[in-house]
């Protein structure tokens, strides 16, 4: 095997190992990035952060369960978030636990233009009971 083939084989091996990195390691190194400016159904304008979500989730009219009404559905992908706040316990997706909720707009809408809250456990990274890195904390008097 010549040097060029050995280097190519090494690169393939390194790429394979990177793909096999445990989810926890990927989560710890990830972050959200700048998103678009958006206007919600009440006419308020916000700057946002874009974060990867890994699971389809309901968007709720309140940042807690039970009793919240579904306003829409958010599909997995790169989705923008306005802000986040602590509230009730999140649904437990993939073993993660959290009590942060993020204000956003769903991909589908039932009421309020699909605007509402998603659980932090649907975002692709973040520690248990910790805010999602890169998303601002909502003002204390902001409830969506």
State yes or no: pLDDT of 15 exceeds 60.
no
SS3 89: coil
Burial pattern 41-66, b for ≥16 Cβ within 10 A else e, equals eeeeebebbbbebbbebbbbbbbbee
User: For residues 80 and 66, is the Cβ–Cβ distance under 8 A?
Assistant: no
What pLDDT score was predicted for residue 105? 99
pLDDT-wise least confident of 11-25, 29-43, 72-86: 11-25
pLDDT-wise least confident of 13-17, 32-36, 39-43: 13-17
State yes or no: pLDDT of 41 exceeds 90.
yes
Confidence band (pLDDT; 50, 70, 90) for 30? low
Q: Has this prediction a pTM greater than 0.75?
A: yes
Overall average pLDDT of the 109-124 stretch: 96
């Amino acid at each position: 095997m010549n040097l060029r083939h050995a280097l190519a084989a090494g690169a393939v091996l390194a790429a394979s190992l990177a793909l096999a990195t445990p989810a926890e390691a990927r989560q710890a190194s990830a972050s959200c990035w700048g998103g678009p400016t958006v206007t919600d159904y009440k006419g308020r304008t916000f700057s946002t952060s874009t974060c990867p979500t890994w699971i389809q989730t309901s968007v709720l009219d309140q940042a807690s369960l039970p009793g919240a009404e579904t306003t829409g559905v958010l599909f997995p992908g790169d989705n923008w978030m306005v802000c986040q706040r602590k509230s009730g316990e999140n649904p437990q997706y993939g073993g993660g636990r959290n009590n942060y909720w993020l204000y956003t707009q769903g991909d589908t809408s039932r009421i309020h233009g699909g605007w509402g809250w998603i659980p932090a456990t649907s975002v692709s990274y973040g520690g248990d009971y910790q805010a999602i890195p890169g998303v601002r904390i909502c003002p204390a008097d902001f409830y969506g």
